[in-house]
Amino acid sequence: MKTITNLKHAQIFVENELKETVEVKNPCQMWKNLHAWHAKYGNGVRILVLDTEDKPYKDFTAKVLKNGKVNLVNAVKETNRVQVAKARKAEAERQAKLEAKRAKRREYDRARRAAKKAAAQQA
């Protein structure tokens, strides 16, 4: 099942000054134009993409690598699918450990109660 995120527009900042606002309807359109915007405005560009609820969807800044290639680094981590999946997995592991600890404690308490009951019956 494919999910489509509806977007509103992309704001392009250079030196923390708004230069242009471009309408963007979906992530595909955003990805297609991303490098063109960087080429047009240079390394000091910051591209902020907002969804239909005016919440930041992606916030890109240009980072030039040693070999001259440009990475556009996203500052909005909630939209990073890999990071969200890792967080979900870590939370599931934490819950499993917690449940195992609780089960061990329940078993210990059950054995202790049984031993107390047997000692009471002996006396």
Instruction: Look at residue 3 in the predicted model and tell me its pLDDT.
Output: 59
Instruction: Look at residue 1 in the predicted model and tell me its pLDDT.
Output: 44
Which secondary-structure segment (H or E) carries 98? Answer: helix 81-122
98 vs 92: CA distance, rounded Å:
10
Residue where the block lists tokens 């449940």:
99
Instruction: Look at residue 2 in the predicted model and tell me its pLDDT.
Output: 57
Instruction: Give the residues across from 41 on adjacent strands.
Output: none
The pLDDT tens digits for 51-77 are 888 888 889 988 888 998 888 888 776
Residue where the block lists tokens 């134009």:
33
The pLDDT tens digits for 8-37 are 999 999 988 999 999 998 888 888 898 889
